[in-house]
Amino acid sequence: QVQLVESGGGSVQAGGSLRLSCAVRITPGYTYRRFAMAWFRQAPENEREGVAAIDEDGNTNYADSIKGRFTISQDNSNNTLYLQMNSLKPEDTAMYYCAADLGPGTLWTVVIGYNYWGQGTKVTVSS
């Protein structure tokens, strides 16, 4: 069906930048359609939280904690979702997950609203 593969995580100092990528891989024979997609993150002992989302029309949403620092985008020519993260802070340290195929009418921050998830990529920001 659909497989999401994240990459781009790593360790940076506070104030640095990283760009996460999420490649959408479609099983041959599966009828591809554009999904609403999102980035979530989960720090140790915390719940998974929505970071940013982009819908089928390219409209975006962001969590208040990262507004002005992170940008979500997608390249439909190669089925890849991106998260550009600038001015990183230690509190941004988490495992970052890509999610796809949000159910109709579901708020973008609802974890169980997505049908597909990647395996995650780790981001560590040191002070």
Q: Which residues pair with 102 in a beta bridge?
A: 114
* Confidence at residue 124, expressed as pLDDT on a 0 to 100 scale: 98
Written as tens digits, the pLDDT of the chain (127 aa) is 899 999 999 999 999 999 999 999 988 888 777 789 999 999 999 999 999 999 999 999 999 999 999 999 999 888 999 999 999 999 999 999 999 998 888 999 999 999 999 999 999 999 9
Q: Which residues contact 77 (CB under 8 A, 6 or more apart)?
A: none
* Confidence at residue 33, expressed as pLDDT on a 0 to 100 scale: 75
> Strands 70-75 and 37-42: what pairing?
unpaired
* Confidence at residue 34, expressed as pLDDT on a 0 to 100 scale: 78
Q: Which residues pair with 96 in a beta bridge?
A: 41, 121
- Token pair for 51: 């970071």
* Confidence at residue 52, expressed as pLDDT on a 0 to 100 scale: 98
* Confidence at residue 46, expressed as pLDDT on a 0 to 100 scale: 95
Nearest of 63, 75, 58, 60 to residue 19 by alpha carbon: 75
